[in-house]
Amino acid sequence: MYNLLKGKRGIITGALDENSIAWKIALRAKEEGATFTLTNAPVAMRMGAIQQLAQQCGTIVIPADATVVEDIETLYRQSMEHLGGPVDFVLHSIGMSPNVRKKKDYGDLNYEWFQKTLDISALSFHKMLQVGEKLDAFNAHASVVALTYIAAQRVFPDYGDMAQAKALLESIARSYGYRLGRSKGIRVNTVSQSPTLTTAGSGVGGFDVFMDYAEKMSPLGNATALECADYVITLFSDLTRKVTMQNLFHDGGFSNVGISDAVVQGLTPPGA
Ligand SMILES: NC(=O)c1ccc[n+]([C@@H]2O[C@H](COP(=O)([O-])OP(=O)(O)OC[C@H]3O[C@@H](n4cnc5c(N)ncnc54)[C@H](O)[C@@H]3O)[C@@H](O)[C@H]2O)c1
């Protein structure tokens, strides 16, 4: 297409099946000339779909639980070996809340699960950055992107403890963006994506109705997974070298709309 990632090496987490946002990002990165490794939690390997993606992208899958530092060390070491050097981009596309999955009410959360939510969905980002820095696995001007959701800033009741996980994730991007920007010109950003029909997305209660609402609120409509992939490719490319420590909304305008004509039309006036 544009050869935006020609010669660049990377690591892509979180491709579970063809609906995954990371799946689309992997295919677009390949189209743009990048070489990269794929990774997912060992349990996700059993589903087998990721091997199919690896074949399509001409690469390998390195199993790694993103909550386990030793797994992340292996991930970077094997990636550098396979790719022939340090990486230019990393995608963090990992999220899971046992409380949301088990439909726990926000006033009745299981705290062990809450810690799991934070560990899987947010601390894993810090671990990927810390291990990458310690192993000197990033090239100068590398770009690290994590996917997030607007529930970090505004209340979406069914999003539960994932709201706190996303707030933490975005904060880690700022702290590490500062640190790695100063040392090596490395960018760290989060992309706040529209609701998207994926395994993680559809685990949130009332997701279909909510997607319809977001579609009506957004002047450009909901951003698809493929459109998210396009945007992330620009962030991995050299065209965005001075963008860092940002939470970038990729949501068709949703985040800046109070109410839209389309939503008003669906409401019943009082007394009608
Ligand atoms: N789908 C949406 O509506 C939406 C909107 C905004 C942001 N996001 C974010 O996008 C990212 C990707 O989600 P998705 O929607 O593509 O769904 P997905 O279910 O396809 O991806 C989530 C991935 O996280 C992986 N994962 C879970 N636990 C892990 C662990 N311990 N170690 C390594 N990997 C682990 C899963 O195997 C899966 O591949 C998530 O951070 C999600 O919160 C999604």
Domains and CATH numbers, the chain: 9-265 (3.40.50.720)
In the chain, % helix, strand, coil (3-state, to 5) comes to 50, 15, 35
Assess whether pLDDT exceeds 90 at residue 2. Answer: yes
In short, whether 118's Cβ falls inside 6 Å of ligand 1 is: no
In short, whether 222's Cβ falls inside 6 Å of ligand 1 is: no
In short, whether 247's Cβ falls inside 6 Å of ligand 1 is: no
pLDDT, one tens digit per residue, over 179-193 is 999 999 999 999 999
pLDDT, one tens digit per residue, over 20-31 is 999 999 999 999
* Residue 119 CA to its chain's centroid (Å): 15
Q: Say what the pLDDT of residue 46 is.
A: 78
SS3 5: coil
pLDDT, one tens digit per residue, over 126-156 is 999 999 999 999 999 999 999 999 999 999 9
Angle between helices 124-134 and 69-83 (to 10 degrees): 50
Q: Is the Cβ–Cβ distance between 89 and 144 less than 8 Å?
A: yes
Structure tokens at 82: 């396979």
Structure tokens at 88: 């230019």
Q: Say what the pLDDT of residue 272 is.
A: 75
In short, whether 120's Cβ falls inside 6 Å of ligand 1 is: yes
Instruction: Name the range with the highest mean pLDDT among 126-135, 194-203, 260-269.
Output: 126-135
Ligand 1, atom 11, lies closest to the CA of: 93
* Residue 151 CA to its chain's centroid (Å): 14
Assess whether pLDDT exceeds 90 at residue 263. Answer: yes
Please report where in the chains the tokens 């702290």 appear, as a residue.
175
Least confident of 169-173, 203-207, 252-256: 203-207
- Residue 164 or 202, more confident: 164
Q: Taking residues 42-60, what's their average pLDDT? A: 91
